[in-house]
Structure 1
């Protein structure tokens, strides 16, 4: 029998899902920007710079040297910035993945699958839609089951008051 989320965790799952969805979209966009930056750098030998001698935004050539590729631009290297921001935001994405995974009590393989969404282009968008739909459906079902079931202690309280207490009998 698969593990199910604890009833006490159901309200926290909605917040974890929202964090995961936001982190998933941001990570996916940054990953696509990173892929575009890598194509520009390694295929066309260009990097994106801001506030340099080329103006507000400019593509500057990357030269091949004996030590590898070297930038020729001045200003803020946005290509490197995209790389760094994606790396740090992937950590936030992994945290949101772990939080949702642990609250939903899914198998470890699902955590790995969701984590791949931050390193395989477009996968984060696909998983965000699929997991969001799955978790919302699960929560709606659990809430419907909880509202349809009678309160578990309602009958027990009445029967306890009808019986004399153990202390009174002694």
Structure 2
């Protein structure tokens, strides 16, 4: 497979990159909430209850929940946000045409805590560098045409 994005794909790639940055930040935040929820659930045997008899937010034993189980909501929202994160990763992989190994490495950002925050800044820099290498030969070819004309 040829290296670098096609010139026609660069505007779509930049749009996908913006969506990726937002999804990385939000997915990373919900992943941290999920880690806290898992520690509470499996370490202490409690879930986060919203609007129950113990107050607006309360840590309630898993078997005693009577209101909204916020722990399940955090789990579900993170799952769907991770799907969005993977979708952005896939679109960038398809448009920027980097290796499948890098695609899998970036996909870890929604699974390993704090990694998505690192990728939020590292991946755009990598993609922009790939875009610059794609645009440089075009600029050099245009300069050569102007000199010869």
Give the TM-score range, shorter chain. Answer: 0.7 to 0.9
Matched residue pairs, number? 148
The alignment status of 1:84 with 2:82, answered yes or no, reads: no
TM-score, normalised by the number of residues in structure 2: 0.88
- The residue number in structure 1 matching 2:67 is 75
Q: CA RMSD in A?
A: 2.3
Q: Which runs of 5+ in 2 are unaligned?
A: none
- Secondary structure of 1:4's counterpart equals coil
How far apart in 1 are the matches of 2:3 and 2:141? 20
The separation in 2 between residues aligned to 1:108 and 1:139, in whole angstroms, is 18
Which residue in 2 is equivalent to 1:12?
12
Residue 113 of structure 1 corresponds to: 105
- Counterpart CA distance in 2 for 1:50 and 1:125 is 28
| TM-score, normalised via structure 1 length | 0.78
Higher relative CO (Cα under 8 Å, sequence separation at least 6) belongs to 2
Q: 2: CA distance between counterparts of 1:99 and 1:153?
A: 34
Question: 1:140 Cα shift?
Answer: 4.0
In 2, the alpha carbon distance for the partners of 1:121 and 1:128 equals 13
Instruction: Determine whether 1:136 maps to 2:122.
Output: no
Moved over 6 A (4+): 151-155
For 1:148 and 1:24, the matched residues in 2 are separated by: 35
Q: Hey, which of these two has a bigger chunk of helix by percent?
A: 2
Aligned to 2:42: 42
Q: Which runs of 5+ in 1 are unaligned?
A: 63-70, 159-170
